[in-house]
């Protein structure tokens, strides 16, 4: 990205679901940061491209790679799994494609696997992910429900920004959600994938606050060795957020773990709590 007027921006990336986290310091593009997040390179989503293709040919031999000249006839739906699909080809071969991340899910145990769809659509006044074993939804800040909610088999986990501007509404583009000006001089951009949600807080300069807190409901946050955070429900770990990493405009391809940290305050009631992202002052200078 290109530097303009010597300015810098800081982006904090926190992901929930499969949950991972990092902090990035980047240079703004020609229009600084637009609310669709295009001026900041989002962390690449884990691709669902096939990792392995194994072919069973009529003679019973197995080869790696789909047949070059043959055409797909139909999928053997009963053979689907969360991360594989099996196809018949017109030369009699059968190809099993195994994916590095889940591509399918079972809506109910007694049903077959269907394809995961992370596209966000409005249902009522909230944006919701379309199809997965878990659901994430986004609403306006300051509303009755937490701004971000995860619906899992184990229950509903909510994340609500503390001290954010009231009534900031989400804007969706496919699998991306943006909140412009959620905090002072700060935008929030979320990207949904098959395995989690990446959250990027983009700070537009030294006027942005040095800390960002989220009230957690439905699970109890706990700081773990190495600086990450685990979320517990009835003493069972349901998600783990790895430590924040920091990228600078100069070394954005070489993230480090210095410059940002989590601060965790469990609730006195025993469930819920607060997770705060604290940013080193040198990054905002």
**DSSP track, 58-92:** TTS-EEES--SS--EEEE-GGG-BTTEEEEEETTS
CA distance 55 to 71: 13
- Tell me, what's the pLDDT at 8? 41
Q: Provide φ and ψ at 184, rounded to 5°.
A: -55, 125
Question: Quick check: 227 and 233 in contact, CB under 8 A?
Answer: no
Question: Quick check: 51 and 65 in contact, CB under 8 A?
Answer: no
Query: What average pLDDT does the segment 174-195 reach?
Result: 92
CA distance 147 to 188: 12
Q: Is the pLDDT of residue 9 over 60?
A: no
Question: Quick check: 229 and 213 in contact, CB under 8 A?
Answer: no
- Tell me, what's the pLDDT at 257? 57
Query: What average pLDDT does the segment 110-136 reach?
Result: 91
Beta pairing class for 9-17 and 236-241: unpaired
Residue with tokens 């405009």: 249
Q: Is the pLDDT of residue 137 over 80?
A: yes
pTM as predicted: 0.77
Considering 20-24, 239-243, 246-250, 277-281, the range whose residues carry the highest mean pLDDT is: 277-281
Query: What average pLDDT does the segment 104-111 reach?
Result: 83
Query: What average pLDDT does the segment 219-240 reach?
Result: 88
What is residue 26's three-state secondary structure? strand
Beta bridge partners of 127: 122, 138
Q: Provide φ and ψ at 189, rounded to 5°.
A: -125, 130
Structure tokens that stand for 83 in this block? 């991360």
Mean pLDDT over each residue of the chain, to the nearest integer: 76
CA distance 43 to 22: 9
Q: Between these two residues, 170 and 15, which has the higher pLDDT value?
A: 170
- Tell me, what's the pLDDT at 153? 78
Q: Is the pLDDT of residue 28 over 70?
A: no
């Amino acid at each position: 990205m290109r530097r303009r007027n010597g300015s810098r921006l800081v982006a904090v990336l926190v992901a929930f679901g499969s949950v991972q986290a990092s902090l990035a310091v980047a240079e703004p593009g020609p229009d600084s940061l637009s609310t669709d997040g295009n001026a900041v390179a989002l962390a690449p989503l884990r691709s669902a491209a096939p990792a392995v293709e194994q072919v069973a040919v009529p003679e019973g031999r197995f080869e790696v790679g789909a047949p070059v000249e043959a055409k797909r006839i139909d999928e053997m739906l009963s053979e689907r799994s969360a991360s594989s699909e099996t196809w018949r080809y017109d030369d009699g071969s059968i190809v099993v494609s195994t994916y590095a991340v889940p591509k399918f899910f079972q809506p109910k145990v007694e049903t077959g696997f269907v394809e995961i769809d992370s596209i966000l659509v409005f249902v009522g006044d909230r944006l919701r992910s379309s199809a997965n074993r878990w659901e994430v939804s986004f609403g306006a800040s300051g509303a009755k429900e937490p701004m971000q909610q995860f619906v899992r088999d184990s229950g509903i986990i909510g994340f609500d920004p503390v001290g954010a501007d009231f009534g900031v509404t989400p804007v969706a583009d496919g699998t991306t959600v943006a909140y412009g000006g959620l905090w002072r001089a700060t935008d929030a951009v979320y990207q949904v994938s098959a395995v989690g949600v990446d959250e990027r807080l983009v700070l537009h300069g030294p006027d942005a606050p040095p800390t960002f807190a989220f009230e957690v409901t439905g699970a109890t946050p706990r700081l773990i060795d190495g600086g990450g955070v685990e979320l517990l429900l009835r003493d069972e770990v349901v998600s783990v957020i790895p430590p924040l990493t920091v990228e600078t405009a100069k070394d954005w391809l070489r993230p480090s773990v210095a410059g940002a940290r989590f601060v965790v305050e469990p609730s006195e009631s025993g469930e819920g709590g607060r997770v705060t992202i604290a940013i080193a002052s040198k990054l905002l200078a």
